[in-house]
């Protein structure tokens, strides 16, 4: 009976508040009630968490990406067990501070050690409460950069202009608050590495060929970079290409934009862009463009295991063209970075490679 009331309350609050804050609070309160109940019963409280970082807890959905299974394995955190006590305390502290302070949390660095620890804790909390991370109203500083034919307004009304050919703008830390997006871009190019991104800026790539938007998450993308790509795709309806190194790590990063990651699979609907196209560097481009042999890097043990892991994933086996490229790379046992193109000619990437690829449809 009591449970039914909670459902009704929750529904009403969710409908009343566009930010779902009340919904989040209700869920946190319920978790805390359980802890308090255990303590009052003389038992050691436990927290039950979804196993975020486990391939067994996600499944692949063709139009969405990686989504969390309904019945995922659960980890139990006990406060009386040395191996999980610290994490237990961190989680509780975070939940309590959400209830009382409700705003920015980066106020006790000593407690958490590093921002990475705190980030991981926040992901745990949002996963446990089954709410998107941004509903916790904790905005992390973005590590990504964006440039090109794009202007928009931040939530507070600040105008952001990414349309200057020589500089980049940090990706907003509140992507959901962005409005009035104006752009004449013909496509979006996701760039894996900062160095390549810089090269494109230096060569004025966004104005030279045709108007476009370039964005980099500097390696493994953070949530804001992924939200931004998704937002631009939703708003502009233009093709999204990925430019990554021809190595297993580059493919993994591209797959995070396209299909999502295991740890944030419960948010796939707002984070993935299933139509991302692999523009380059394709393993088959290595021969096609005669990338000099001396710039190729032999596979390491880590590359070998990463590529084996990639090949077992559902989202690769449903794309024969990708599978063929990955097989070719595994046969070659060599990888090539985007930078290796500059050993063909200094501006080869921006003057020859990308224009050709885009003009003749060299993506898969």
Residues near ligand NAG (CB under 6 A) are 149-151, 163, 182-184
233-257: buried (b, 16+ CB within 10 Å) or exposed (e) per residue? beebebbbbbbbbbbbbbbbbbbbb
To ligand NAG, the closest distance from the beta carbon of 206 in angstroms equals: 9
Q: Which is nearer to ligand NAG, 150 or 178 (CB)?
A: 150
Return the H-helix or E-strand segment holding 223: helix 223-236
To ligand NAG, the closest distance from the beta carbon of 169 in angstroms equals: 13
Residue nearest to ligand NAG (CB): 163
Look at phi and psi of residue 260 and say left if phi exceeds 0, alpha if psi is from -120 to 50, else beta: left
Q: Are 241 and 210 in contact (CB under 8 A)?
A: no
Q: Which is nearer to ligand NAG, 149 or 337 (CB)?
A: 149
Q: Which is nearer to ligand NAG, 8 or 182 (CB)?
A: 182
Instruction: Indicate the SS3 state at residue 210.
Output: coil
Prior bond of 128 cis (ω within 30°): no
Q: For residue 204, what are the contacts with CB-CB under 8 A and spacing of at least 6?
A: 165, 166
- Please state the separation of Cα 355 from the chain's center in Å: 27
Q: Which is nearer to ligand NAG, 84 or 172 (CB)?
A: 172
Q: φ and ψ at 344, to 5 degrees? A: -75, -50
Q: Give the span between the Cα atoms of 20 and 363, in whole angstroms.
A: 40
Q: Are 357 and 302 in contact (CB under 8 A)?
A: no
Q: Which residues are catalytic?
A: 106
To ligand NAG, the closest distance from the beta carbon of 78 in angstroms equals: 54
246, β-bridge pairs: 336
Return the H-helix or E-strand segment holding 162: none
Instruction: Indicate the SS3 state at residue 75.
Output: strand
To ligand NAG, the closest distance from the beta carbon of 139 in angstroms equals: 25
To ligand NAG, the closest distance from the beta carbon of 173 in angstroms equals: 21
Q: Which is nearer to ligand NAG, 180 or 317 (CB)?
A: 180
Three-class HEC string of 68-91: ECCCCCEEEEECCCHHHHHHHHHH
Q: φ and ψ at 76, to 5 degrees? A: -105, 125
To ligand NAG, the closest distance from the beta carbon of 232 in angstroms equals: 12
Q: Which is nearer to ligand NAG, 33 or 207 (CB)?
A: 207
């Amino acid at each position: 009976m009591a449970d039914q009331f909670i459902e009704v309350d929750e529904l009403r609050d969710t409908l009343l508040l566009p930010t779902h804050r009340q919904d989040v609070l209700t869920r946190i309160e319920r978790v805390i009630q359980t802890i308090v109940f255990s303590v009052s019963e003389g038992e050691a409280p436990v927290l039950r968490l979804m196993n975020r970082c486990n391939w067994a807890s996600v499944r692949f959905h063709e139009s969405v990406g990686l989504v969390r299974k309904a019945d995922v394995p659960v980890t139990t955190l006990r406060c009386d067990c040395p191996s999980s006590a610290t994490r237990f305390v961190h989680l509780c502290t975070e939940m309590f501070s959400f209830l009382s302070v409700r705003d920015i949390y980066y106020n006790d660095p000593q407690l958490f050690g590093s921002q990475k620890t705190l980030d991981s804790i926040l992901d745990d909390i949002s996963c446990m409460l089954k709410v998107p991370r941004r509903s916790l109203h904790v905005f992390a500083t973005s590590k990504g950069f964006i440039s090109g034919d794009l202007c928009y307004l931040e939530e507070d009304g600040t105008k952001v202009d990414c349309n200057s050919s020589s500089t980049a703008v940090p990706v907003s830390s509140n992507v959901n608050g962005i409005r009035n997006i104006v752009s004449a871009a013909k496509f979006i190019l996701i760039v894996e590495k900062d160095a390549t991104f810089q090269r494109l800026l230096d060569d004025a790539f966004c104005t030279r060929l045709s108007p476009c938007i370039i964005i980099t998450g500097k390696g493994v993308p953070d949530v804001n970079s992924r939200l931004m790509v998704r937002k631009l795709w939703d708003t502009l309806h233009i093709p999204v290409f990925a430019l990554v190194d021809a190595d297993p790590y580059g493919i993994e990063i591209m797959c995070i934009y396209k299909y999502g990651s295991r740890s944030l699979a419960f948010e796939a609907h707002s984070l993935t862009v299933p139509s991302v196209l692999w523009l380059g560097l394709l393993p088959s481009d290595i021969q096609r463009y005669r990338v000099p042999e001396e710039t190729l890097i032999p596979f390491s043990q880590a590359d070998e295991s990463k590529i084996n892991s990639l090949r077992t994933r559902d989202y690769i086996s449903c794309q024969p063209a990708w599978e063929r490229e990955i097989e070719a790379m595994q046969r070659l046992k060599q990888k090539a970075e985007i930078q290796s193109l500059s050993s063909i000619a200094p501006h080869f990437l921006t003057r020859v490679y990308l224009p050709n690829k885009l003009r003749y449809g060299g993506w898969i």
